[in-house]
């Protein structure tokens, strides 16, 4: 019987994953990484689920690592006028980093999570690949581009072939799992009230510093309340009147300025991506046609990509709106994740 270490958040997805893995004949061990103050509730729920299913559960204190890899990166991004995606750092360093090390310590061949994604051995490419799940808009492959590719053969996603969350909840109800109707967590896990500005002010040296809102010619149009209070594409809350609607286009950190302009200036046909990770290929020396997602909630867009020094150059077929530095660009070939990186 193969052993698998399953990351458990106390939610319905990971709970049903535990059940499905056990039904498939794996020896399942549940684990909860204690990453921040309010992980305790998740830990209790996960322990209770494991007890009900009849599997072991371990907790590991990973607060120092979580602060180093996820929270410090979150703060650094906002300090440098970028918009972070902490789930991607968490997957890379915590769920598919520390958790994999724990799996080896416990003698587990596999690790598993409740993500809506899929791994399989591709005959076409002659390697294990990361793919979209069947969950449509719920698919979470976007968040997984940064995982080490050598891990892919040892990752199980039990929810890969389910098309909706309701199917998962129904399995939980049928098996009397008490988390069947537990609400989805929509916010950043370590900021449960969703107030990231308050979090930044309480956990870093970032403080609201007023400055000018300027247009592309440098003309002062108004005053901002602190650069981290704004995001690219924002229209509301600028407090300036103009004959034509104005949107946040970018920032000048040195001058402490928010730069605004008309909507047509939000569109870009070319971007560069750094700190990239390639899963499907080992290098991109010639242009490859791909579909690119620049936000989790955005649709894919056709583009060509090529390596350019330590970056990947992305040229879109059609200009894309409000591309935001710090977010991830994820490249797909069909439903396979080719790789991804951080937008510059």
Beta strands 110-112 and 3-7, pairing class? parallel
Q: Give catalytic status of residue 50 as yes or no.
A: no
Q: Which one of 50, 77, 87, 90 is the catalytic residue?
A: 90
Angle between helices 196-203 and 72-79 (to 10 degrees): 100
N-to-C CA span, the chain: 46
For residues 100 and 86, give the distance between their C-alpha atoms in angstroms, rounded to a whole number.
19
> Taking Cα atoms as reference points, which of 6, 258, 12, 46 lies closest to residue 154?
6
Q: List, in order, residues 6 or more apart from 76 with CB less than 8 Å away.
A: none
The answer to whether 11 touches 185, Cβ cutoff 8 Å, is: yes
Q: What percent of the residues of the chain are helix, what percent strand, and what percent coil, each to the nearest 5?
A: 30, 30, 40
DSSP H or E run through 15: helix 12-23
Q: Give catalytic status of residue 87 as yes or no.
A: no
The answer to whether 344 touches 311, Cβ cutoff 8 Å, is: yes
> Taking Cα atoms as reference points, which of 285, 320, 322 lies closest to residue 305?
285
Q: List, in order, residues 6 or more apart from 23 with CB less than 8 Å away.
A: none
DSSP H or E run through 273: strand 267-278
Residues known to be catalytic: 90, 189
């Amino acid at each position: 019987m193969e052993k698998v270490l399953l990351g458990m958040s106390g939610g319905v997805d990971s709970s049903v994953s535990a059940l499905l893995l056990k039904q498939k004949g794996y020896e399942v061990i549940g684990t909860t990484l204690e990453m921040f103050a309010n992980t305790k509730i998740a830990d209790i729920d996960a322990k209770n689920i494991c007890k009900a299913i009849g599997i072991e559960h371990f907790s590991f204190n990973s607060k120092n690592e979580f602060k180093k890899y996820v929270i410090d990166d979150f703060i650094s991004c906002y300090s440098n006028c970028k918009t972070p995606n902490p789930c991607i750092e968490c997957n890379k360093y915590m769920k598919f980093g520390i958790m994999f090390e724990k799996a080896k310590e416990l003698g587990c061949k596999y690790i598993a999570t409740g993500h809506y994604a899929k791994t399989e051995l591709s005959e076409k490419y002659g390697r294990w690949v990361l793919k979209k799940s069947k969950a449509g808009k719920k698919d979470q492959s976007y968040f997984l581009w940064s995982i080490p590719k050598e891990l892919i053969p040892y990752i199980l996603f039990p929810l890969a072939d389910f098309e909706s969350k309701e199917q998962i909840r129904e399995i939980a109800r049928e098996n009397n799992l008490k988390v069947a109707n537990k609400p989805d967590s929509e916010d950043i896990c370590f900021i449960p009230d969703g107030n990231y500005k308050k979090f930044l002010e309480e956990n870093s040296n970032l403080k609201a510093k007023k400055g000018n809102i300027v247009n592309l010619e440098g003309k002062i149009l108004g005053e901002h309340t602190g650069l981290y209070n704004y995001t690219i594409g924002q229209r509301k809350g600028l407090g300036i009147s103009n004959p034509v609607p104005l949107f946040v286009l970018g920032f000048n950190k040195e001058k402490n300025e928010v730069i605004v302009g008309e909507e047509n200036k939000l569109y870009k046909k070319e971007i560069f991506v750094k700190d990239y990770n390639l899963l499907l290929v080992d290098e991109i020396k010639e242009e490859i046609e791909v579909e690119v997602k620049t936000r989790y909630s955005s649709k894919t867009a056709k583009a060509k990509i090529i390596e350019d020094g330590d970056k990947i150059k992305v040229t879109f077929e059609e200009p894309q709106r409000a591309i935001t530095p710090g977010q991830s660009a994820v490249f797909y070939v069909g439903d396979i994740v080719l790789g991804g990186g951080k937008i510059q």
